[in-house]
Structure 1
Amino acid sequence: MTYPTRFSDLPDYAFPRLRTLLDAHEPGGERLDMTIGEPKHGFPGWVSQIIADNIDGFGKYPPNDGTPELRAAISGWIARRYGVQVDADTRIMALNGTREGLFNACVALCPEQVRGQRPVVLMPNPFYQVYAVAALAVGAEPVFVPAGPETGFLPDYAALPADVLNRVAIAYLCSPANPQGTVASRDYWRGLIGLAEKHGFQVFADECYSEIYRDAAPVGALDVAAELGADPERVVIFNSLSKRSNLPGLRSGFVAGGSGSMARIKRLRAYAGAPVALPLQRVSERAWGDEDHVVASRALYREKFAIADSILGDVPGYVPPHGGFLLWLPVDDSEAAALKLWQQTGVRVLPGAYLSREVDGYNPGKTFIRVAMVAPKEEMQRGLIQLRDCLYR
């Protein structure tokens, strides 16, 4: 297997690569950007009033770990959502968005060696780019595990050789998955957490899309870990208000895990963290305690799921996403498809090859494009019809 060992081994981030591919060409119609997973549904109306009421907080250094009220609100949400009691003082920390946490938790928790050898960090392939950068930052070996149709779009970590599993320090998993929209079942989580218990590694559960789903709410890693009686340090979860509450610019999320892990993450935050501004923490307190706006937004996404199914349901290989707001659509070549779509229609999508890594001559994203269903319904419908007619007819 061939894996990168340095930052310089990684290609540019996906969106600069996309600009290089497309921007030298004129769009073939009215431009519609369906590349970025930036929610466009309205956020709650009380947000601006809370900021105004707490405007003086911008004149103060915010608490590193989150206000007591914010940590209590997060703890309460976890209890309601997953039925798990998590101590607000010792097991929760506010984040400046989940990307910060997904990176810094690896820095704080990945050991220099595992059983006397270089540690391994597992991640699905395709994957959220910060996973690989975090692994390389701590000198670990990133191992990209295919998450394609042959494995139900989830990585089969248990199939890895024993010599790899015995070096694993951390395994990342995103559910609902970015970009495939796959939701890990309770049995899948049981298997992964059991594997982590057996080999002594930690599971980093990226659950930022957890509140966008079709039918049943996705199972949470903390829920399953508690059910199994796993070591409380075994699972670290990450979530945010970006997708759940349509507040990507708020840059507010959280990390929760065992008290030992959280003490190390908090120690790193004290030296190198970027805490959420106090007025924004006050907004976050209210947001984690309110479900009405989440239910309303989820209803809009369910309408979008139905629109996508009606337009793309006859496309060979189309797999309806079960969660999140991304479509992972099969094509012959992702770069060629994205360029053709842009030149002929003005619809902009992301080549799946830019979200994956080639390992042993195979890039599992090369034959897919990622399409974000964040535009208003009418725009999204127009874009999907153009996409279908351009690429599949």
Structure 2
Amino acid sequence: MNPNLASLHPYPFEKLAQLKQGITPPHDKAPIVLSIGEPSHPTPHFIQEALLAHSQGLGIYPTTKGIIELRLAIAEWLAQRYAIPVAALDPDSHVLPVSGTREALFSFAQCVVDASAAVKPVVVMPNPFYQIYEGAALLAGADTYFVNTTEATGYLPDFASVPDSVWQRCQLLYICSPGNPSGAVMSQQQQQTLLNLAEQHDFIIASDECYSELYDDEAQPPVGLLQTAYAMGNTAFKRCVVFHSLSKRSNAPGLRSGFVAGDADILRQYFQYRTYQGCAMPLPTQHASIKAWQDERHVIDNRRLYREKFTAFISILSEACPVNQPPASFYVWLKTPFSDTEFARQLFAHENLTVLPGSFLSREFNGINPGANHVRIALVAPLDACIKSAHRIKNFLNIL
């Protein structure tokens, strides 16, 4: 067996199941689960119809690179969304379809990390983080270095605290903007600083942008890494790879459809890796994805639904505790009055409401666990369930 398997941590939801073990919640309260970021808004009908209309494609082996129509649709969406000239994005060399960001974020590290380097490589990532980053780094044979995100830093990674000795060993940097779990958004200036560091120390930036289309202010969409690179004059997107998905944007997590885009030299080698990995996107999924990337109306409506839930949830809960709406994502990153694990356990026991302890999403680093005394609440349930959840948390806090 791969010896690095022994270094993997249990997944957050495995820990959550153990935390809830032995508790019988009240039977008079229907269960509400807000622990997992699984969108529950309906998948648009036109995506489902396109999937069915091309079902004959199930009889054909798909290619790893995907059909040109899909890559062209993605390139055009990127250009429109991030104010990049469409001519600067070659659908043949700058875009590669993937089966959702999860598998791509993991497999990318297996491709780009050189574990045979004279000095053991480091993969840098925010803390808290999407646990795929950590698992990908460990199984690629690298050390991990966590960059804490705290209230003092606006829940953004404190990259200024990373010593040069770490940057010198860094081969890959994961960033996530909008962030999971806080919804904090990196500025273009912050991304420029990272791109300069990548140039200086020769590492790759993998930008997880799967929450990029869930933002509060229609006039201020989150900036993307390719957008920042192009604005800096890095028109070839050197050392930049972005990861996008239809899961959150189009409420289609089961479609398993996304893409990576950026540095053509990196993607050429990642494409070669993927031809062996064997994860080509089925043709019906590709055709449904084309329709999804070409339509913005459903995405605008999706944001409206989340705004309604944030407004209602925060209006109720703010009567009992401080709570803020993030600039993006569908998460509330709530501070707890005592241990986050005990808060989540008691909330389930008293209110039959499941949230995720923040410490399950982070590691203790430099003397602190930045996820401690927080819980992540995913406002993915219908509006009425989110309203009920706010009342239940309010009642729970009032009892305390």
Under TM normalisation by the shorter chain, which class is it? over 0.9
Counterpart contact for 2:312–2:387, Cα < 8 Å? yes
Partner of 1:379: 385
Counterpart position of 2:296:
291
Give the corresponding residue for 1:351.
357
Distance 1:189 1:392 in 2: 42
Deviations 1:87-109 (A, max 9, x none): 10011110100011111111111
CA distance in 1, matches of 2:356, 2:142: 28
Map of 2:277 onto structure 1: 272
* Distance in 2 (alpha carbons) for counterparts of 1:11 and 1:170: 20
Q: Which residue of 1 aligns with 2:75?
A: 75
User: Aligned residue for 2:9?
Assistant: 11
The question of 1:44 aligning with 2:49 is answered: no
Task: Indicate the residue corresponding to 1:94 in structure 2.
Answer: 97
Number of matched pairs: 388
Q: Which residue of 2 aligns with 1:20?
A: 18
Shift of 1:212: 0.4
Deviation of 1:378 after TM superposition, in Å, equals 0.8
Shift of 1:213: 0.5
Q: 2:241 is matched with which residue?
A: 236
- 2 CA distance for matches of 1:130 and 1:220? 21
Root-mean-square deviation over aligned CA pairs: 1.6
Q: Secondary structure at the match of 1:276?
A: coil
Q: Which residue of 1 aligns with 2:149?
A: 147
Per the TM alignment, residue 201 of structure 1 is displaced from its structure 2 partner at its CA by 1.2
Q: CA deviation at 1:392?
A: 5.7
C-alpha separation in 2, matches of 1:363 and 1:260: 37
Q: Residue 227 of structure 1 is aligned with which of 193, 206, 231?
A: 231
What's the offset of the Cα at 1:19? Answer: 0.8
Deviates more, 1:248-257 or 1:194-203: 194-203
Q: TM-score with structure 1 length normalisation?
A: 0.95
**Does the CA contact (< 8 Å) of 1:158 and 1:195 recur in 2?**
no
Deviations for 1:263-293, whole angstroms, at most 9, x for unmatched residues? 1110011001311211011000111011111
More deviation in 47-56 or 35-44?
A: 47-56
SS of 1:300's partner is: helix
What is the DSSP-based 3-state SS (H/G/I as helix, E as strand, rest coil) of the residue aligned with 2:45?
A: coil
- Partners of 2:354 and 2:366 in 1: CA distance: 30
Shift of 1:315: 5.4
TM-aligned CA deviation for residue 52 of structure 1: 2.2
User: Percent identity among equivalent residues?
Assistant: 40
1:353 and 1:392 mapped to 2: Cα distance?
A: 24
User: In the aligned structure 2, how far is the partner of 1:106 from the partner of 1:266?
Assistant: 13
| Matches of 1:392 and 1:109, distance apart in 2 | 51
Query: TM-score scaled by structure 2?
Result: 0.93
Contact 2:8/2:138 (CA < 8 Å) preserved in 1? no
Q: Secondary structure at the match of 1:166?
A: helix
Aligned residue identity for 1:201 = F
Cα separation, 1, equivalents of 2:93 and 2:136: 24
Are residues 1:258 and 2:263 paired?
yes
Q: What are the Cα deviations for residues 95-126 of structure 1, in whole angstroms up to 9, with x where unaligned? A: 10001111111111122356x31111110010
* Contact residue 122 and residue 144 of structure 1 kept, 8 A: yes
Measured against aligned partners, the alpha-carbon deviations of 1:240-269 in whole angstroms (never above 9, x if no partner) come to 000000000000000011111001110011
- Which residue of the partner structure matches residue 369 of structure 2? 363
Cα gap change, 1:392/1:132 in structure 2, threshold over 3 Å: closer, same or farther?
A: farther
Q: Unpaired segments of 5 or more residues in structure 1?
A: none
Query: Partner of 1:130 in structure 2?
Result: 132
Contact conserved, 1:241 with 1:253, CA < 8 A, in 2?
yes
Q: Using the alignment, how far apart are the partners of 2:223 and 2:280 within structure 1?
A: 29
The partner residue of 1:337 within 343, 347, 355 is: 343
Return the alpha-carbon distance in structure 2 between the equivalents of residues 392 and 42 of structure 1: 34
Residue 49 of structure 1 and its aligned partner are, at CA, apart by 2.0
- Residue number in structure 2 paired with 1:281: 286
- The answer as to 2:125 corresponding to 1:112 is no
| Matched letter for residue 174 of structure 2 | Y
3-state DSSP class of the match of 1:371?
strand
Q: Is the 8 A contact 1:158 1:192 kept in 2?
A: no
Equivalent residue letter for 2:34? M
Q: Among 121, 139, 162, which residue is 2:164 paired with?
A: 162
Q: Is the 8 A contact 1:341 1:391 kept in 2?
A: no
Q: Distance in 1 between matches of 2:52 and 2:157?
A: 45
Take 2:146 and 2:357, find their aligned partners in 1: how far apart are those partners? 18
In the alignment, residue 334 of structure 1 is paired with which amino acid? D
Matching residue's letter, 1:66:
G
Q: Determine the structure 2 residue equivalent to 1:312.
A: 317
Alpha-carbon deviations, 1:219-257, whole Å to 9, x = none? 111000111123622210000000000000000000011
CA distance in 2 between partners of 1:212 and 1:138 (Å): 31
Aligned partner letter, 2:312: I
Contiguous gaps of at least 5 residues in structure 2: none
1:277-310 deviation per Cα after TM superposition (whole angstroms, max 9, x unaligned): 1101100011101111111111111112212331
Contact 1:43 1:293 in 2 (8 A): no
Q: Distance in 2 between matches of 1:212 and 1:286?
A: 19
Give the match for residue 176 of structure 1. Answer: 178
Give the Cα separation in 1 of the matches to 2:19 and 2:152.
29
Q: Distance in 2 between matches of 1:107 and 1:344?
A: 44
Within the alignment, does 1:64 sit opposite 2:70 as a pair?
no
- Per the TM alignment, residue 313 of structure 1 is displaced from its structure 2 partner at its CA by 3.1
